[in-house]
Amino acid sequence: MRASLGTVRKRAGQHQVLFDLESSLVDPDVRRSPERLNTLLHPDFIELGSSGLVYDRRMIVEMMSQEVSGDVIMRDFETRSISEDTVLVTYRSIGQSGDEARRSSLWAKGADGWRIHFHQGTRIPNRWGGVS
């Protein structure tokens, strides 16, 4: 079954909105703003960090507001609809030091717009078998 043109346009628009939202989470100005982060992160937000540690929203907001972050490049950005208002986002991140990770986020659209409920980062080993 083929998607209608309206469905294709809706998905393309949704893809761009989620790319913009996910990109904002690596923006140093957004990361330093607890107010902005609290509008993006769902109250029950959980992150499984690339370190293996688990963080809740309070911990992430506190950590981000104190960190000195550099530029992050996002590659291979994809969205997959889980339901009408829930989307899985996946991409590869590359930090200033060259460290790479595969990342996934679960976003849901509610009355207050899109909010991230879950995020996981998994380090990508370098070509010699170690973690970059």
Dihedral over alpha carbons 53, 115, 111, 11 (to 10 degrees): -130
pLDDT at position 55: 96
The domains located in the chain, with CATH, are: 5-123 (3.10.450.50)
Contact 42, 115 (CB under 8 A): yes
Contact 80, 90 (CB under 8 A): yes
Contact 34, 11 (CB under 8 A): no
| pTM for the full predicted model | 0.83
Cα–chain-centroid distance for residue 82? 16
Beta strands in the chain (DSSP E): 41-48, 54-56, 73-83, 86-94, 100-110, 113-123
Q: Would you write out the chain's pLDDT as a tens digit for each of its 132 residues?
A: 555 444 445 567 899 999 999 999 989 899 999 999 999 999 999 999 878 899 999 999 999 988 777 788 899 999 999 999 999 999 999 887 778 999 999 999 999 999 999 999 998 887 665 554
pLDDT at position 93: 92
pLDDT at position 89: 98
Cα(104)–Cα(88) distance, integer angstroms: 7
